[in-house]
Amino acid sequence: MKILIIGGVAGGASAAARMRRLNEQAEIILFERGEHISFANCGLPYYIGGVIEKRKKLFVTSKKKMENRFNIDVRNLSEVIGIDRDKKEVSVKNLETNEIYTESYDKLILSPGAQPILPRFEGIEDAPVFTLRNIPDTDKIYDYIAVNKIKSAVVIGGGFIGIEMAENLTDRGIKVDLVDMQNQVMAPFDFEMAQFLHKELIDNKVNIHLEESVSRFDGNTVITNKRQIETELIILAIGVRGETKLAVDAGLEVNRNIVVNEQLQTSDPDIYAIGDAIEVKHYVSQASTIIPLAWPANRQGRIVADHISGKEISYLGTLGTSVAKVFELTAASTGLNEKALMNTGIDYGVIYVKKNNHAGYYPNPREIDLKVIYNKKDELILGAQAIGYEGTEKRIDVIATAIRFGAKVSELAEIEVAYAPPFNSAKDLVNIAGYIGDNQLNGYEFFMWNDVEELIKNKEFILDVRTKGEFEQGSVPTSINIPIDELRGRIDEVPKDKTIYVYCEVGQRAHIAASMLMSHDYRVLNLAGGYNIYKQSNYKW
């Protein structure tokens, strides 16, 4: 069997190595347009920032190693420029000699990756604009900063690459302005969670300009719909687009990206496609989507090799589990967020938990904010987001696993997590999310941070059960303060003829107050996430 693989990096290199482990006799040829067949895409910003000091650390494997260890014919600097499906052969251009030749195949694997979106902004040709996708891009940015002694930069786009570049440029002493046309950074997070990231960026002296679109460049000036920003370096990080030209030219089915089935076969069963260039099913919604992440690409590479080798195996979809470092914060998410659910008709519930990452009595506890979303009809978990410090991504990994195995939200309480004071509390954030979910599903009522404005307008009774000192430092407008430890003795101050909207800092004391009041026949709703989420959602800079 002769297998051709177009593209290396995560998906293609994984497919090649797995294919060889399964079949020692197969002829395997890997074509890579660039010089390097496998490198750490996700590490590129950290090399520019100096966190990764040695450039060679970015290379996962080499042409020589792939050839020697796996007996794979690796042809770098070789661009596949066409596919003839009838003849089952590809046309290849040697980029060093410009020679064009053909190579036949029994099975073909497309792993062409994606390229940065580069709009045709007026003046872009004369501006110091860079994108970041591969090693040559990295070298250009790194050298440009060093040679020109760059002191200011504009990063356009608040996704993973944009945020990581903003941090790493800041760490190099470069003044950074971050521009994004949305009202928040980091699209996998809902607005109130992204607000924690906005504050972290501002606290680290990144100037963020949201709901601003770039209109044009004028030399070293970035011109948006609201301002002009003078700069010495521009990083364009507004997203990527799958490299689908080969597939389109070959007549394969392509929508936004290459269409594949559960075995990752294209509309031609002898041609497979993997990685950033394909459409996948979202594991939760089952809708077609594009999720250009490293884990799916690696997993898909292995599955394709397995299927070609005769194994009955399917790719069941992508959750989109991801994590990013934002200065001191860790931001992780999995599954669907509220934005994705709002127009689906799904009746969903939302849970917020704020808790230390380990036992409070052990030195240096740090807080984690967790949001869990679930389907009220079948109780299945739909997604989760967490922002905090050490251990944040661990909680998302646990919930991603729970989603994969069909756990109901209340069953999060049953997860037996590892506990010792330096690592956790005996009752973990994930467990508490399960308890809250169980309460919600059994009639305990909550209201949300974005309901507050309407409650104030309607002159509803909003009860703050925090201490007087906490109340004086900031509160929900029009709320009445009766500290939880005084509530029993002052219960007559709470009107019986009104619904009571109660809150504390994170929800725990308000839960005690709600239970107390409900036992006296009050109707009570607890503010989900407490004043912590309300305050953060209204953060201004």
> What are the residue numbers of the active site?
42
DSSP code for 96: T
**Nearest to residue 55, comparing CAs of 34, 74, 36, 32?**
36
Strand pairing report for 107-110 and 221-224: unpaired
Reported as type and span, the H/E element at residue 300 is helix 294-308
Spell 348-383 as b/e; 16+ CB within 10 A means b: bbbbbbbbbbbbeeeeebeebbbbbbbbeeebbbbb
Residue 348's Cβ-side half-sphere holds a number of Cα atoms within 13 Å equal to: 22
Q: How far from 451 is each of 142, 454, 527, CA to CA, in Å?
A: 47, 6, 9
**What distance in Å separates the CA atoms of residue 201 and residue 189, rounded to the nearest whole number?**
15
Q: What DSSP designation does 170 have?
A: H
Q: To which residue do tokens 């994170």 refer?
A: 506
Instruction: Give the C-alpha separation, 300 to 455, whole Å.
Output: 49
- 375/284 Cα distance (integer angstroms): 11
Compute the half-sphere exposure of residue 398: CA atoms within 13 Å on the CB side of its CA. Answer: 23
